[in-house]
Amino acid sequence: MPASSVGHADIPDLVHDLSSSSGATAPVIAPFTGEVLHDLPLSSAGDVADAAATARAAQRAWRSAGPAHRRRVLLRAHDLLLERRQALMDTLQTETGKTRGQAFEEIFSGASVTRYYAVSAAGALATRGRRGGIPLVVRTRVSYQPKGLIGVITPWNYPLSLSLMDVVPALAAGNAVIQKADNQGVLSILASRRAFIDAGVPAALWGVVAGDGTEIGNAVVDAADYVCFTGSTATGTAVGLRAAARLVGASLELGGKNPLIVLDDVRPAAAAKDAVYSCFSSMGQLCVSIERIYVHRAVADDFTTAFVERVGALSIGGALDYSADVGSLTSAAQLGRVTAHVDDAVAKGARVLTGGRPRPDLGPYFYEPTVLADVTDDMLCAATETFGPVVAIHVVRSEDEAVAAANASEFGLNASVFSGSRRRARAVADRLDAGSVNINEGYRATFSSIDAPMGGMKSSGLGRRNGREGLLRFVEARTVAESTGLIALPRTGREFAAMTGIMVAVLVALRAIGRR
Which residues are known catalytic residues? 253, 287
The answer to whether residues 330 and 184 touch, using CB atoms and an 8 Å cutoff, is yes
In three-state secondary structure terms, 474 is coil
* Residue 431 φ then ψ, to 5°: -100, -5
Question: What is the length of the chain?
Answer: 516
| Cα–Cα separations (whole angstroms), residue 100 to 106, 161, 334, 352, 446 | 10, 15, 20, 28, 21
Q: Comparing C-alpha atoms, which of 177, 164, 251, 178 is closest to residue 210? A: 178
Contact residues for 494 (Cβ-Cβ < 8 A; gap 6+): none
Q: Comparing C-alpha atoms, which of 95, 89, 100 is closest to residue 324? A: 100
81, containing H or E segment: helix 67-83
Residue at 165: amino acid letter: M
Contact residues for 207 (Cβ-Cβ < 8 A; gap 6+): 19, 51, 52, 54, 55, 177, 178, 179
Q: How far apart are CA 365 and CA 344, in angstroms?
A: 19
Q: How far apart are CA 107 and CA 110, in angstroms?
A: 5
What b/e sequence results for 150-162 when a residue is b if at least 16 CB atoms lie within 10 Å of its CB, and e otherwise?
bbbbbbbbbbbbb
Residue 374's CB: how many other CB atoms inside 10 A? 16
434, containing H or E segment: none
Q: Comparing C-alpha atoms, which of 223, 197, 198, 196 is closest to residue 209? A: 223
* Residue 391 φ then ψ, to 5°: -135, 145
198, containing H or E segment: helix 186-199
Q: How far apart are CA 242 and CA 143, in angstroms?
A: 29
The answer to whether residues 308 and 371 touch, using CB atoms and an 8 Å cutoff, is yes
The dihedral built from the CA positions of residue 205, 209, 213 and 215, taken in this order, carries a sign that is: negative
* Residue 361 φ then ψ, to 5°: -65, -25
Q: How far apart are CA 156 and CA 181, in angstroms?
A: 8
**Plot region of 21 (φ>0 → left; ψ -120 to 50 → alpha; else → beta):** alpha
Q: How far apart are CA 457 and CA 413, in angstroms?
A: 6
